[in-house]
Amino acid sequence: MAKSLHIAMFVSIVMFFTSNSISSQKIDQYSQEAPGDVKISPTSDFDIYFEHHYTDKQFRFLEVCAQKLTSSHCGDVLFKNMVGEGTPVLLAECCAELLKIGKDCYLGTAQVILSTYEYRNIASKAIPKSKQTWNDCVRLTEN
C-alpha cells in the first residue's frame, strides 16, 4: 500500500512539473515568427526553396493556367493518369478541356506540381507520362 502511494505521489509530482513548464510558455498566437525551439518541417523548407526558382511572372502564368481548368473531375482524371494511379482512362471531354488550356499551361502546371515535396520522388516517371497524356489527348480529339 505504501509503495503504491509513493508511486502515485511521484507520478503526480512529475505531471505537475511537466504541465507547469509547458503552460508557463507564453505563445502569441498572432505572431508571424516561430518560437526558437520550433523547427521548420522538411516539407515547408523544401517548398520554400522550390518557390525561389520561379519568378512572379511565371507564378501568375501558372495561376491563370490553373483557373482555366474548369472541371475538377477532369483535373482528377488527368492527374491520376499523369501519376499512374489506377487504370488510365482518358475521356474525350477531359482531353478537349486539356487542349483548350494549351500545352505550355498543362506541362508547366504538371512540372510545378511534380516539383513539390510530396511528388518529387515520382517526378522522373510522371513528367514523361504527362507529355504522353498530352499526346494521347491530341490523338483522341483528332479522331
Mean of pLDDT values over 35-46: 55
Q: What is the DSSP letter of 90?
A: -
Whether residue 19 has pLDDT greater than 60 = no
Q: To the nearest whole percent, how much of the chain has pLDDT over 70?
A: 59
- The reported pTM is 0.59
As given in the structure block, the three cell numbers for residue 31 are: 505572431
Q: What is the pLDDT of residues 111-142, one digit of tens each?
A: 888 887 788 888 888 889 889 889 989 998 88
Instruction: Give me 50's grid cell.
Output: 522550390
Q: What is the average pLDDT across 59-77?
A: 82
| Burial tier of 114 (Cβ tally within 10 Å: 0-12, 13-18, 19+) | buried
The per-residue pLDDT for range 77-105, each reduced to its tens digit, is 888 888 877 666 778 888 888 899 999 98
- Is residue 126 within 8 A of residue 82, CB to CB? The reply is yes
The mean pLDDT value for 61-73 works out to 81
Query: What pLDDT was estimated at residue 79?
Result: 84
Write the CB contacts of 89 (distance below 8 Å, at least 6 apart in sequence). Answer: 77, 81
